[in-house]
Chains A and B, each alone.
Chain A
Amino acid sequence: MPTSRLEMTGINVAFGGVLALTDVSLTVEPGQVHGLIGPNGAGKTTLFNVACGLVRPTSGRISWRGQEMRRLRPSQLTKLGIARTLQGVGLFPGMTVLENVMVGAHRHARAGFLSALLALPTSDKDDRQLRERAMRALTELGAEQYAGRYPGSLPYPVQKRVALARALVAEPDLLLLDEPASGLAEDEMHELGELIRSVVGRMSVLLVEHHMDLVMRVCDQITVLDSGKQIAAGTPAEVQADPAVTEAYLGDAVDPGADAAELTHADGGRTHG
């Protein structure tokens, strides 16, 4: 088993003439939580999209488990052992919570078209197994009682849990979390932090997040972007001590008022989805 290390080296992305990312490098070590932070428009989500093949970099190298990924397509991700959640939730509105999570387990499906067409017992058995996987993932996130409901009727934090369950059910080696805490209340964010730490034994995590306290608490390594450039990298303590970071992003983060501003900002983020 090759080590599950994600390495992005010298990534450049240009949209038309605008440089979204300039020479950004980042390595997610196995079993670590890597945080990606930066002010709005810093290019966090762009880098994220590069990591999962939604945006093709102008230049640069992405390697996963020691192999370079040249023409990465999003649909290949789960097979490679990478799962990602979307900013907002991106659940399937016309399907029950259980079905949503079962789709996430797509990679584990074995029965093919023909056995489904003929409704062979193998198809039933396969579906039962997917269902059990999905229920386990929902139970892990404490959302099993919503299995039969449709996402649109559920409170936003529950939808976020379902979206997370859908990513976890694929049993990835690398989990990409895009702003998982947006729209969550303080105690929910705390639980989320514990959850992220609890999955680290099974997978590494790349986390894009606005909430400083969450990032500082759960991350082993942090990369800071500003205007498409990497301005700092290191442990939470190192990053916090870095004057460039303080200047560009944290500002007066010690001031509790700034935290409150962050929170209101995140609530505004709900409408993104």
Chain B
Amino acid sequence: MSDLHSPASTGTAGKATDEAPVLATAGADAPSAPAETRRSFLPQSTLLRHLLVLAASAVLAVALLELSSPYQNSQLATLTYYAIAAGGLTVLTGMNGQISLGHGALMAAGAYTTALFLDAEEPLPLPLILVVAVVVATAIGALVGVAAARLHGPYLAGATLALAVGLPGLAIYFHDIFGGEQGLRVRAPRAPEAFGSFIEAVSGNSASNTKWLAYVGTICLLITYFFLANLVRSRIGRTWRAVRDQEVAAELAGINLGAWRVLAFVVSAAAAGLAGGVLAIVVRLAAPSGFTLVLSLALLTAIVIGGLGSLLGALLGSALLVFLPPFVTDLGGDLGLDQTEAAQLAPFVYGVVLIVAMIFAPAGFVGTIRLRWMTAKAKRASARAAGANGG
């Protein structure tokens, strides 16, 4: 056993794949604790580090919103609610290993709550309404989570599928409150005066209501990802992954599997609720047709393509979801297809992208790049070791 103390001499170390997790699906999640303390220009404190990233992302987001057209602004607003929900889902599915086909329904809970509260004579301030939307979705998520904690794989998919199909049905059944098939029109909140002067000062653009909603979405997105990143990088995220990887071993380490599964579901539902709230004000409508199974499936494909368990992956996957179809449709138009044909091209290309991603990059964008990077690093390390031995 003594030879194990010097890995460089055994020849087992430094293999190209040694540094990478064997599970392709875990390729996208970064470790919660560094093995060695590296010199880094980033602060040691998680809070400061994440606030720094948050600030940088905020600057980037403002630049992006101000340099893009009003149409692109509305696309970005769409992106924000997809990304918020996908971020929550990637924590549930990627980090904790629970699949959910019901996140569209949880978004509906947030959207309807927001719509109802905005419809009041004297509506509450928007942040407060969004908080209520989160609370409602969280409560539903907790109920579903308790049921889900005992289920696995296809059974869990089935149970959450029932949620996806059933919950929007309630809106039709109680049509006096929820407006039936037509749904509820949402009175989009007006931008405060300060917003106009802020935009004026930053770019001189006109502060349209579309722009305001895109900013609301962006702020919600940044806050959500800040919180989720904190959780992912902490003991909480580590415990979730332990439950995902090896149930028995996790239990023997003192982890109550059920409680931690419910916690993951609740966190994920909270994000879905906020996403629903943002969707309601951006789309200005909360209707059953907006929360079909397709929405839930779109979220799942987004996190898989982006890289399960990675927030950046969830964001990139959502971006693909939002920007790919119009891009393909335009491309089809340029290639001389008529409008209907061009519109039909989008889902086809999306499907092809999905299949290609599954075959060639099962770890998703972020996972694949991270695995490549780790492999390259290991290769360099072994080359160095070989050089040192030779010289």
Contacts and interface: CB of A to CB of B under 8 A. Distances in A.
Nearest to B12: A155
Given A78-B253, A95-B31, A98-B33, A191 B1 contact: yes
Interface stretch (B76-84, B107-115, B230-238, B282-290): B230-238
B246 A92 contact: yes
B45 A95 contact: no
Interface stretch (B19-27, B122-130, B317-325): B19-27
A17 interface: no
B19 A113 contact: no
Given A75-B252, A90-B246, 10 more contacts: A75-B255, A94-B25, A95-B31, A103-B242, A107-B253, A117-B236, A119-B233, A142-B5, A148-B19, A187-B2
Nearest to A163: B249
Interface stretch (A123-131, A211-219, A249-257): A123-131
A103 B238 contact: yes
A121 B47 contact: yes
Interface stretch (A35-43, A55-63, A79-87, A196-204): A79-87
Q: Enumerate the 6 nearest inter-chain pairs by beta-carbon distance, A residue then B residue, closest first.
A: A148-B35, A94-B26, A152-B22, A78-B254, A116-B234, A92-B245
A232 interface: no
20 contacts: A54-B248, A75-B252, A75-B254, A77-B254, A83-B252, A90-B248, A91-B249, A93-B26, A94-B21, A95-B31, A95-B242, A98-B31, A99-B31, A103-B239, A103-B242, A124-B44, A147-B36, A148-B35, A153-B19, A158-B4
A117 B35 contact: no
A145 interface: yes
Interface in B199-256: 227, 230-231, 233-236, 238-239, 241-242, 244-246, 248-256
Contacts of B253: 78, 103-104, 106-107, 166, 170
Contact of A119 (B2, B4, B50): B50
A173 to B, nearest CB: 14
Contacts of B18: 149, 153
B22 A106 contact: no
A99 B35 CA distance: 9
Interface in A148-199: 148-150, 152-153, 155, 157-158, 161, 166, 170, 185, 187-188, 191
B154 interface: no
Interface residues of B, number: 53
B252 A86 contact: yes
Contacts of A227: none
Given A83-B252, A121-B45, A157-B1, A102 B33 contact: yes
A86 B35 contact: no
Contacts of B248: 54, 74, 86, 90
Nearest to B266: A113
Contacts of A118: 47, 227, 230
